[in-house]
């Protein structure tokens, strides 16, 4: 089988493979993964800081328009406890994720949390932010306070599809501008898309994967779209792929991405584990080298519902590491304790302009 990936058409053919042909594709991606990033899996403890969101994306359960969702924001102490847990347990990194807010109180709370975590861990815990669209000035403040990486999914690289799954005041170009600002600020930049959105065909997904390559991102977090009943996109659910088809498409997408971008960090996301019980393990075997276990305080987890039936809601902190060890081992990989696991693909802004 030829795995040349110069054109969208070639990527589409690979995304369509099934059965033994898909297995060969996965095997090829696995070899590329081992050659470029090895068999270590980096841990990022995920802290879901708040489900308050100023935006109203048509697919997301914590959109501002979902009035049936009770809202919360973690206290400073709760975040610091989670960071301490991550640091002491040997997680090299932490991800702070949240609904989007741009007010000064939010910006300065995050800034001060970053400073405090940096201080407590002697700068050893690598911090990734996933806090949506912000001004270049805010990105710079958070970078200065200690954040290393930023995750901002483009969601879809098609401006038309983007407009269909967002309200009119959510602008595709703004998202692109934010990704560029993040790069210019010196972050390791992560992006990604949802797979299996209504109106997204395989060709669009192939374009999405090429978009990530063109944007030269350092990290990718992508995942299946999972419909949420209290959102406008729910009404399009008849257009969705059957779960088994979606799962096969996802695994091929992970493989194609690894072939396209051999040295980036790729996450085995919770949404993939929600779609299929072995989803994260399969992604790690084929292409992924990062996992983001949820370490949000238990009282808040059931309220951070981007999509329904999210896994890991009930696992206790004590169970977490043995469970992860087993999962990573089953994928033929090794858990990398005490390592930040920065993207090997990353170049500083100065290196970009060389
Ligand atoms: N507010 C920030 C971060 C939190 S949302 C932001 O939007 O960037 C994190 C990710 O959750 C989004 O980027 C989106 O890709 C994903 N998400 C939201 N709703 C989803 C759904 N119904 N199915 C799958 N993923 C979803
Ligand atoms: Fe808010 Fe992010 Fe959900 Fe959009 S995807 S509604 S920005 S939390």
pLDDT at 10 over 90: yes
What does the mean pLDDT of the chain come to? 95
Give pLDDT, residue 354: 66
Model confidence at 101, in pLDDT bands (50, 70, 90)? very high
Ligand 1, pocket residues at CB < 6 Å: 59-60, 97, 99-100, 130, 132, 152-153, 155, 194, 223, 225-226, 228, 271, 306-307
Give pLDDT, residue 313: 54
pLDDT at 266 over 90: yes
CB of 193 within 8 A of CB of 208? yes
Give pLDDT, residue 136: 98
CA-nearest residue, atom 3 of ligand 2: 60
The pLDDT of 136-146, averaged and rounded, is 98
Give pLDDT, residue 108: 98
Distance 47 CA to ligand 1 centre (A): 14
Residue 55 CB–ligand 2 contact under 6 Å: yes
Ligand 1 pocket test, candidate residues 73, 176, 219, 306, most atoms within 8 A of CB: 306
Of residues 1 and 308, the one with the higher pLDDT is 308
Residue 222 CB–ligand 2 contact under 6 Å: no
Q: pLDDT tens across 319-341, in order?
A: 888 999 999 999 999 999 999 99
Q: Classify residue 16 as exposed, middle or buried by CB count within 10 Å of its CB (0-12, 13-18, 19+).
A: middle
The pLDDT of 12-32, averaged and rounded, is 98
CB of 259 within 8 A of CB of 3? yes
How many angstroms separate the CA atoms of 53 and 130, rounded? 13
Give pLDDT, residue 203: 98
Residue 178 CB–ligand 2 contact under 6 Å: no
Ligand 1 pocket test, candidate residues 44, 60, 63, 189, most atoms within 8 A of CB: 60
Ligand 1 pocket test, candidate residues 49, 53, 57, 194, most atoms within 8 A of CB: 194
How many angstroms separate the CA atoms of 129 and 321, rounded? 23
CA-nearest residue, atom 16 of ligand 1: 306
Ligand that lies nearest to the alpha carbon of residue 55, given by its number in the listed order: 2
Residue 63 CB–ligand 2 contact under 6 Å: yes
pLDDT at 346 over 90: no
The pLDDT of 99-128, averaged and rounded, is 97
DSSP 138-190: HHHHHHHTT--EEE---B-S-HHHHHHTS-TTS-HHHHHHHHHHHHHHT-EEE
- Ligand 1 atom with the smallest distance to the CA of 153 is 13
pLDDT at 350 over 90: no
Residue 233 CB–ligand 2 contact under 6 Å: no
The pLDDT of 169-179, averaged and rounded, is 98
Give pLDDT, residue 315: 65
pLDDT at 314 over 70: no
Residue 230 CB–ligand 2 contact under 6 Å: no
Q: Which of 158, 167, 273, 160 is nearest to 204 (CA)?
A: 158
């Amino acid at each position: 089988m030829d795995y040349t990936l110069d054109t969208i058409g070639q990527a589409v053919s690979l995304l369509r493979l099934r059965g033994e042909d898909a297995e060969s594709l996965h095997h090829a991606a696995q070899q590329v993964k081992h050659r470029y990033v090895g068999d270590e899996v980096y841990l990022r403890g995920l802290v879901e800081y708040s489900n308050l969101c100023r935006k109203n994306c048509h697919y997301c359960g914590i959109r501002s328009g979902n009035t049936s969702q009770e809202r919360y924001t973690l206290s400073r102490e709760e975040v610091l406890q989670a960071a301490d847990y991550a640091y002491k347990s040997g997680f090299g990194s932490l991800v702070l994720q949240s609904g989007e807010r741009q007010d000064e109180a939010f910006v300065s709370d995050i800034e001060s949390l970053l400073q405090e975590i940096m201080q407590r861990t002697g700068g050893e815990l690598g911090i990734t932010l996933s806090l949506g669209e912000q001004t270049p000035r805010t990105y710079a403040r958070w970078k200065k306070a200690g954040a290393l990486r930023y995750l901002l999914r483009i969601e879809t690289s098609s401006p038309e599809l983007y407009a269909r799954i967002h309200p009119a005041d959510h602008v595709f170009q703004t998202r692109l501008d934010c990704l560029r600002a993040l790069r210019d600020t010196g972050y390791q930049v992560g992006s990604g898309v949802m797979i299996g959105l209504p109106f997204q065909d395989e060709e669009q997904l192939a374009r999405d994967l090429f978009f990530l390559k063109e944007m030269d991102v350092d990290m990718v977090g992508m995942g299946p779209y999972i419909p949420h009943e209290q959102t406008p996109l729910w009404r399009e659910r008849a257009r969705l792929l059957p779960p088994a088809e979606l799962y096969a498409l996802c695994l091929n997408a992970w493989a194609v991405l690894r072939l396209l971008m051999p040295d980036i960090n790729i996450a085995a996301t919770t949404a993939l584990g929600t779609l299929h019980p072995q989803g994260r393990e399969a992604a790690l075997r084929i292409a992924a080298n990062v996992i983001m276990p949820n370490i949000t305080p238990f009282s808040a987890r059931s309220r951070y519902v981007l999509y329904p039936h999210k896994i890991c809601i009930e696992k206790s902190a004590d169970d977490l590491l043995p469970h992860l060890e087993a999962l990573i081992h089953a994928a033929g990989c090794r858990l990398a304790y005490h390592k930040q696991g920065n993207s090997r693909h990353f170049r500083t802004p100065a290196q970009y302009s060389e």
